[in-house]
Amino acid sequence: MNRILVANWKMNGSIDQFSTYLTDLQNGYSFKNIDLIIAPPFPYINIVKNKIVNKNIFIAGQTMNYLPDGAKTGEVNARMLKDVGSDYVIIGHSECRENRSFDDIDASKTVLSALEKKLKVIFCIGEKKTDSMSNEIIIEQLVCALEGIDKKYSEFIIVAYEPVWSIGTGVTPTPEQVLQKRQIIYATLYNLGFLKTQIIYGGSVTVQNAGSFINNAQIDGFIVGKACMHAGNIIEMLNIL
Ligand code: PGA
């Protein structure tokens, strides 16, 4: 399976910035065995999609609501994300769990709704602080979201392990700690029957530390926030992958 790099732009960017970024990125883009997934803010999804010429570059929505069309001001659902050209959607990012009161029950409904509309899912899990409960927390997040989901969807889900304390802080776990969590996630997925689900890491990934995670933590790729906003960083990370 291809390695994965998710570039999560969060609430950043403009039409001009995305234009330059995609031109820089696609000039001489020669990565065949890596899927680059760009997650722009909603208003830019279609603009970004129309500028992509490389078949290994995909688009993700940053979140979605599981409800069908209706009176939900400010929300978007899977049908709409698909309509504007998204291939993936990020579900359960800690910033959404925090700001949009998204919980584990919503996770399962949202994952199912995305998959049924043929959106692939990047499902984020991670503990808030480094304490003895951290393993239980990530197992529970996974089980709640995936228990009711048909195993046939296994290959259409990517699990992103993102310790909340590491997102945007510049503080990261060691590759050995990520490896330990990766093994727990793998075992949980195995028990749930999700054998083709890939596991990536996110939280203050940089060009400097990416190599050490790839070499020592057995992960399939990264989800990157801050460092993804420069095309040069993305190219370097793709080289590392
Ligand atoms: P960061 O964000 O790379 O800025 O820590 C990662 C994420 O939130 O997905």
Section 169-198 average pLDDT: 97
The pair of structure tokens assigned to 196 is: 């083709």
For the CA of 160, the nearest atom of ligand 1: 9
Task: Output the residue whose Cα is nearest ligand 1's atom 3.
Answer: 225
The predicted model gives 86-107 an average pLDDT of 88
Query: Mean of the pLDDT values across residues 228-235?
Result: 95
The percentage of residues in the chain with a pLDDT greater than 70, rounded to a whole number, is 100
Residue 136 among the catalytic residues: no
d(CA 87, CA 146): 20
DSSP 82: H
* Cβ 63 under 6 angstroms from ligand 1: no
More confident residue, 102 or 167: 167
Structure confidence at residue 212 (pLDDT): 97
6 lines ligand 1 (CB under 6 A): no
Contacts of 3 (CB under 8 A, 6+ apart): 33, 34, 35, 220, 221, 241
Ligand 1 touching residue 226 (CB < 6 A):
yes
Residue 105 has a pLDDT of 79
Tell me the mean pLDDT in the region 16-21. Answer: 95
Comparing 28 with 199, the larger pLDDT belongs to 199
pLDDT score for 29: 82
Task: Give the pLDDT confidence score for residue 62 in this predicted structure.
Answer: 97
Q: What pLDDT score does 131 carry?
A: 76
Instruction: Quickly count: other Cβ atoms within 10 Å of residue 74's Cβ.
Output: 6
Is the confidence at residue 66, as pLDDT, over 80?
yes
- Please report, for residues 51, 229, 241, the alpha-carbon distance to residue 236 in angstroms, rounded to integers and kept in the order given: 21, 13, 9
Ligand 1 centroid to residue 161 C-alpha, Å: 11
pLDDT per residue over 29-44, tens digit each? 888 899 999 999 999 9
Residue 155 appears among annotated catalytic residues: no
Indicate if ligand 1 lies below 6 Å from the C-beta of 65: no
Q: Is the distance from CB of 50 to CB of 22 less than 8 angstroms? A: no
Mean pLDDT of the chain: 95
pLDDT band at 130 (very low <50, low <70, confident <90, very high): confident
pLDDT-based confidence at residue 97 (cuts at 50, 70, 90) = confident
Cα Rg of the chain, angstroms = 17
Band (187; pLDDT cuts 50, 70, 90): very high
Of the candidate ranges 86-90, 93-97, 173-177, the one whose mean pLDDT is the lowest:
93-97
- Residue of 124, 145, 241 whose CA lies nearest to 194: 145
Catalytic residue among 75, 93, 147, 230: 93
Mutate to test the pocket of ligand 1, among 89, 167, 222, 228 (most ligand atoms within 8 A of CB): 167
Q: Rounded to the nearest whole angstrom, what is the distance from the C-alpha of residue 3 to the centroid of ligand 1?
A: 18
